[in-house]
Amino acid sequence: MVNIGAGLATVEEFAGAAPEAEVAKKIEGRSPWRLAVARLRRDRAAMTSLGVILFIVVVAIFAPVIAAITGHGVYQQFRTTGLTPIGQPIGPNSTFLFGTDDQGRDILVRIAYGARISLIVGVLATLVTVVGGTIIGLAAGYFGKLIDTILARFMDWLLAVPFLLLAISLVSVVQIHPIGPLRPGLPVVVFVLGVFGWAAVGRIVRGQVLSIREKEYVEAARALGARPWRIMFIDILPNLVAPLIVYTTLLIPAYIVGEASLSFLGVGILPPTADWGEMISESANYYLYGTWWFLVFPSLALLITTLAFNIFGDGVRDAFDPRADLFV
Amino acid sequence: MARFLIRRILLGLFIMWMMTLTVYLIFYIGPGPAAVARTLAGREATPQIVAEVAHRLLLDRPWYVQYGHFISLLLQGNLGYDYYKGESVNSVIAAAFPITLSLVIGAAIIWLAMGVLSGMVSAVKTRSIWDRTFTLLALLFFSMPTFVLGFLLLLGLYYELTVSGLPVFANPGAFTSFFSNPLAWAHDLILPWLTLALVSAATYTRLTRGAMLDVFGEDYIRTARSKGMRERRVIWRHVLRAALTPIVTQFGLDVGVLIGGAIITESVFNLPGLGYTAVQAIQQQDLPVVIGVVIIASAGVILANLIVDILYAVIDPRVRLH
């Protein structure tokens, strides 16, 4: 069993980060992990945004309930009640709280379903990025020599790539011609975000590993005959948990925006699946008719989500390492 | 210095070569060539005509033969022909590039001014009402997806004002060359500039504030103050200069990426710059145009990185290039 808290204690920065008052109150073994959580709980902005995030998660989970309460299915088109006689979307009223879209569908219900896509893609793509980046960064940093040279060059290349251009190219090819498990829609979006994103994590992990592997306890483990994999994952990895958690919370909103942007460009989630980026992109054909609700409500949903995640991410960073400059 | 430059340029060329190869391979995973020949030949075309079209464009050869042909043309400075327009890719890019360049230059000036100035005020007057306001705004725009801001500006400023009889802002998609009418050029681009600038400036506000706060704690700032230097001079000459390194890095990266096409901003405003052109070419599987834009985009990133590294030595005398 890996004790994450004990591993964290070896990151020197934490020694100075603990507020003196806290230590003086009661002499009690407090792991840096617990200190960070305590610090986070005192951060009002972070806690409020965590509340907002939980609310969005609840909305996503209970989207079918929202559909049932309103009586409007997510794909259901209300051609008589939901569209004007000339086929224009209808503004917010008592039946359609957020109005309808160009096909007479309830925008409120579609926003609730859209939350599912945003959260799933944001979390999955972040997991792919962080796990992939950590493993490759660990390997590059620990083994060094030729492996490091190849992996580090590859990461440099990935970071210099015009990401959006390549992503659009790849997704549009997959849309015509699926490659193995890469199907159009959610799978390829997660793949593209993860594959072009891991290098940033990999570079941070590699840099940290380069310094940690020279530490005495790593040398001790090696002297005891520990295998490379054991040293990498049991002796070195726990030291990286703090920066990785911070990076993870800030990657999620970035990927939510990334997914919405791909969908906006027509190479993300495919219609008729409810998706915020796709809804905004559709509404763009209509703003010239003054149908503001069609644009404003999905935009607000997207903005509130990314804002909540970013504020929470800032709070997590401050809590784990008040002086970290990882993201400068 | 010369050795450093040569090494970096060679590395850059290598990365560009890898990029073209990647895009070629992606294109050939899918039904690229077949689909292109089919579309070009038209609905009524017999299989013979489709084959004929494919043959003329070399689309029936293996990808490496086509790639070799592409490289040999490239070495003569020729990017090949747009499958659909029959125009040379050089001229397609020559038409799109000024639009992207205009968009990026204008936006970059605005975001640099807004971001660095607001960050400076935040750092000098920490915890003041200004600091709080700018920090909040930075967080808001940092979280704002570019296309959301673009459409909201179009709806709120362009549509609402135009409908109420005050057409202050130009129609989306309008573009006037700077050399024919500089005023109309700026007028057409105000909203795209604002969109790109507001979204980007947020990063600079946070970056400048953080970097300047770090420098304020340095010994040489205390020295400068204790020898009676005016605060204004301390801030501009010493603090800002030392804080400039991360700002320059970020600026180089941002401009480098955008030179290859501000894809989202251009798409929102229907500006036919490099990004917009590339997105359309990708949807039509128009490989020569995609490759052309990818080359420009990679060159932009690589060149920007190179310039940033050279600027380091100018800004910070402690850095020497090796």
Q: B residues 140-199 near A, CB within 8 Å?
A: 140, 142-148, 151-152, 154-155, 159, 163
- pLDDT of A4 over the 80 cut: no
Q: Which own/partner contact pairs does A309-312 have at CB distance under 8 Å and 24+ positions apart?
A: A309/A49, A309/A53, A309/A122, A309/A249, A309/A250, A309/A252, A309/A253, A309/A256, A309/B143, A310/A250, A310/A253, A310/B139, A310/B142, A310/B143, A311/A45, A311/A46, A311/A48, A311/A49, A311/B139, A312/A46, A312/A49, A312/A50, A312/A53, A312/A249
Closest residue in A to B22 (Cα) is A166
Q: What is the pLDDT of residue B138?
A: 93
- pLDDT of A319 over the 90 cut: no
| H or E element that contains B137 | helix B129-143
Is residue B19 less than 8 Å (CB to CB) from chain A?
yes
| Contact criterion met (CB < 8 Å) for B139 and A311 | yes
Split chain B (322 residues) into runs of 10 and give each run's mean pLDDT: 80 82 76 66 70 72 79 80 81 93 95 95 90 92 94 89 83 86 91 95 92 87 90 88 87 89 92 92 82 86 84 71 50
The percent of residues in chain A predicted with pLDDT above 90, rounded, is 37
The percent of residues in chain A predicted with pLDDT above 70, rounded, is 88
- Mean local confidence (pLDDT), A211-239: 89
CB-based contact A254:B203 (threshold 8 Å): no
User: Which of A232-241, A254-263, B29-38 is predicted with the least confidence, judged by mean pLDDT?
Assistant: B29-38
Q: What is the pLDDT of residue A138?
A: 92
Closest residue in A to B162 (Cα) is A288
pLDDT in tens, A151-185: 988 888 888 778 888 888 888 888 777 777 788 88
Rounded to an integer, what distance in angstroms lies between the CA atom of residue A241 and that of residue A204? 12
Distance, in angstroms, between B281 CA and closest chain A CA? Answer: 10
Under DSSP, the state recorded for B88 is B
Q: Which residues are CB-neighbours of B180 under 8 A, at least 6 positions away?
A: none
What rounded mean pLDDT belongs to chain B? 85
Q: CATH: 3.40.50.300, 1.10.3720.10, 3.40.33.10, 2.130.10.10. Which one for B91-321?
A: 1.10.3720.10
Task: Label residue B87 left, alpha or beta by phi (over 0 means left) and psi (-120 to 50 means alpha).
Answer: beta
Rounded to an integer, what distance in angstroms lies between the CA atom of residue B65 and that of residue B25? 13
Q: What is the pLDDT of residue B200?
A: 94
Higher-scoring residue by pLDDT: A19, B157: B157
Nearest to B147 among A157, A164, A280 (CB): A280
Number of H helices, E strands in chain B: 15, 0
Nearest to B31 among A162, A165, A176 (CB): A176
Q: Which amino acid is at A286?
A: Y
Q: Give the residue among B254, B307, B245, B261 at the shortest CA–CA distance from B12.
A: B307
Beta bridge partners of residue A106, listed in sequence order: A100
- Mean local confidence (pLDDT), A251-263: 94
B193 C-beta neighbours (distance < 10 Å), count: 22
| Contact criterion met (CB < 8 Å) for A261 and B145 | yes
| Contact criterion met (CB < 8 Å) for A168 and B282 | yes
Residues in A closer than 8 angstroms to B246, CB to CB, are 328
Prediction ipTM score: 0.86
Helix, strand, coil percent values for chain B (each to nearest 5): 75, 0, 25
Please report which confidence band the pLDDT of residue A325 belongs to, taking 50, 70 and 90 as the band edges. Answer: very low
**Alpha carbon distance, N-terminus to C-terminus of chain A:** 34
Domain spans of chain B, in order of start:
2-89, 91-321
Residues in B closer than 8 angstroms to A277, CB to CB, are 147
Three-class secondary structure of residue B19 per DSSP: helix
Q: Which residues are CB-neighbours of B196 under 8 A, at least 6 positions away?
A: B103, B104, B107, B111, B146, B258, B262, B265
| Contact criterion met (CB < 8 Å) for A157 and B297 | no
Closest residue in B to A154 (Cα) is B15
pLDDT in tens, B274-313: 999 999 888 887 788 888 888 888 888 888 888 888 887 7
pTM of the model: 0.86
Rounded to an integer, what distance in angstroms lies between the CA atom of residue A177 and that of residue A165? 18
pLDDT in tens, A291-315: 889 999 999 999 999 999 999 998 9
Q: Which amino acid is at A204?
A: I
Is the sign of the CA dihedral A221, A224, A226, A230 positive or negative? negative
Q: What is the pLDDT of residue A57?
A: 97
Q: What is the pLDDT of residue B30?
A: 64
Domains belonging to chain A, first-starting first, are 44-73+100-319 (1.10.3720.10)
- pLDDT of A17 over the 70 cut: no
Q: How far is CA A54 from CA A60, A117, A233, A312, in A?
A: 10, 15, 32, 12
Chain A / chain B CB contacts < 8 angstroms: 125
Q: Which residues are CB-neighbours of B126 under 8 A, at least 6 positions away?
A: B213
| Contact criterion met (CB < 8 Å) for A284 and B151 | yes
Three-class secondary structure of residue A314 per DSSP: helix
Q: What is the pLDDT of residue B101?
A: 94
Rounded to an integer, what distance in angstroms lies between the CA atom of residue A213 and that of residue A140? 12
| Contact criterion met (CB < 8 Å) for B143 and A162 | no
CB-based contact A217:A148 (threshold 8 Å): no
What rounded mean pLDDT belongs to chain A? 84
- pLDDT of A3 over the 90 cut: no
Q: Which residues are CB-neighbours of B87 under 8 A, at least 6 positions away?
A: B81
Please report which confidence band the pLDDT of residue A7 belongs to, taking 50, 70 and 90 as the band edges. Answer: very low
Helix axis angle for A241-264 and A163-176, nearest 10°, is: 60
Three-class secondary structure of residue A171 per DSSP: helix
Rounded to an integer, what distance in angstroms lies between the CA atom of residue B239 and that of residue B251? 18
Rounded to an integer, what distance in angstroms lies between the CA atom of residue A211 and that of residue A208? 6
Distance, in angstroms, between B209 CA and closest chain A CA? Answer: 11
- Mean local confidence (pLDDT), A241-258: 91
Q: What is the pLDDT of residue B18?
A: 83
A201, two tokens = 């994590």
Q: What is the pLDDT of residue B12?
A: 81
